[in-house]
Structure 1
Amino acid sequence: MVTAVFNSPFMIKAHKNKKCTLFTDKVQDKKVKESIASQTSEYALDWKFRYEKGVDEFYNTYTECGICKLGIRENCFEFVPCLCNMDERNYRNEGGQLHRTKTLAQGDDCCDFHVTKIKSES
């Protein structure tokens, strides 16, 4: 189902000529600030994460997940790993390649996102 959504003509057209901004200083600096603020968030369904910026890559480590918390609260946690599958396609559509070995939804201690810039073929 995830593949069908991301391979739909609508999604392909929506991302076709979109400029990759994931690795800009502006976007990465904003994520650093958000990660610091996440550590003291009082919102029960929030994410807690650490963000490490880089050149053509970044690391994003989630130690708490709002989707996991919502899945538990609503007694439908079995659907959460399906939602995690969308991360890879979301990053690819934005110009990044997700490398992840652990997810909270699979019972791991964190979600370890390492995203590298997809080199354009010129």
Structure 2
Amino acid sequence: MKIGDIAKRAGLTISALRYYEKQNLIRNVHRNKQGLRDYTEDDYKWIKFLVAMKNARLSLAEISQYADLYYSQNEDFKLRLAVTKKCRAKLIADFNELQQAIKFLDKKITFYEHKLQN
């Protein structure tokens, strides 16, 4: 898969993919005879996971730690599980904060609607 194709499929920009490569978060991308990147389906799956971790607001350092495990083919699934659980916990915390913000806004909306009706 060409870089533009995988970027579109993953919902990223080409420059984001190149940045992640420079940060060593995406590694060992095959290049064709012309020297162009040729991403595999496994690369795509990793990139989607990388995006999910980023969306969970993990730092690049935390993502890099997981990338080291992934690319070393380290079978330490306890550590992988710990990182994945941390990712999930951050998402839940963010979700709870968003729910509280929504409740607050709902109260304000109700207040203003009530004021406008009177």
TM-score by structure 2 length?
Answer: 0.31
Ranked by relative contact order (alpha carbons within 8 Å, sequence separation 6 or more), the top structure is 1
- Higher relative helix content: 2
- Higher relative strand content: 1
TM-score by structure 1 length?
Answer: 0.30
